[in-house]
Amino acid sequence: MDQNEVKYDKLLKIKTTGRDDSRSDQYCYPYEPTPYGVLERLAYGGYLGKKNHLIDYGCGKGRVDFFLAWQVRCRTTGVEYDERMTKAAEENRQRAVSGTKTSFILENAALFQVPESADRFYFFNPFSVEILRSVIGRIRESWYEKTREMLLFFYYPSDEYISYLMTVEELEFLDEIDCQDLFEGKNQRERILVFQMGEE
C-alpha cells in the first residue's frame, strides 16, 4: 500500500483505505477511495477554497470530504446510498480533524436535492450513466433556481461518462488535471475533468 494512504489517514484521524465490492451492482459501483495524490492535485488546482461547498457523490467512508475540508477549508457534504458506508463515514467524522466542516447524507444520489449553497461537485465513477443523468438534472435545476458558479470534477472518467457530459447543453468543459505521473504505466483515465455549469 502507498505510504501516502496510511500517512494521510493517520494525519486526518480517519480510516478510509481498502476497496469494498459487497454492495455493488450494475448501477452502483464498488467503494474505492480516491488516492490522496489525486486529491492533492485537485486541492492545489485553484478550483476550491474556504467559501465553497462541495458535494461528494458516492462518498463511501468520506475520504474526499475530510481531506478537502482540511486542505482547502471548504464545507463538504457526502451523499451515499449504502448504510454501512454512511455509518463508517459518520464514525470517521467523530474523530476527524476536519469533522466540523463535513456532513453525510444517506440517500440515493438521484433523489438528493442540491442545496443552494452547493457550488462544487465531485464524482469518482460512483454509479451508472443512468443515475448520473438524474444527478446532473438535479444540479442543473439547482443552478436555474439560483444562478452561481458551479464546477463539477470527474476523476478517472469512463468513456460513457465523457460521451454523456459532452451532450449536456449547460455543461462546458473547462480543464483537465493530469494525474498519470502519479501511477505506474500510462493510463489515460488518470485525470480529473473539470466542467462548468451554465454560462458565466
Instruction: Check pLDDT > 80 for residue 3.
Output: no
Whole-model pTM? 0.94
Report pLDDT for 23: 60
One-character DSSP codes across the chain: --HHHHHHHHHHT----S-B-TT--SSBPPB-PPPHHHHHHHHTTTS--TT-EEEEET-TT-HHHHHHHHHT--EEEEEES-HHHHHHHHHHHHH-TTGGGEEEEES-GGGPPPPTT--EEEESS-B-HHHHHHHHHHHHHHHHHS---EEEEEES--HHHHHHHTT-TTEEEEEEEE-GGGSSS--TT-EEEEEEES--
* pLDDT tens per residue across span 168-184: 999 999 999 999 999 98
103 or 5, which is more confident?
A: 103
Report pLDDT for 186: 84
State the average pLDDT for the chain: 93
186 or 80, which is more confident?
A: 80
Report pLDDT for 4: 81
Instruction: Check pLDDT > 60 for residue 166.
Output: yes
* pLDDT tens per residue across span 12-30: 999 998 776 666 566 556 6
Average pLDDT of the segment spanning 142-156: 97
> Going from the N-terminus, what domains does the chain have, and what CATH number goes with each?
3-17+26-197 (3.40.50.150)
Instruction: Check pLDDT > 70 for residue 1.
Output: no
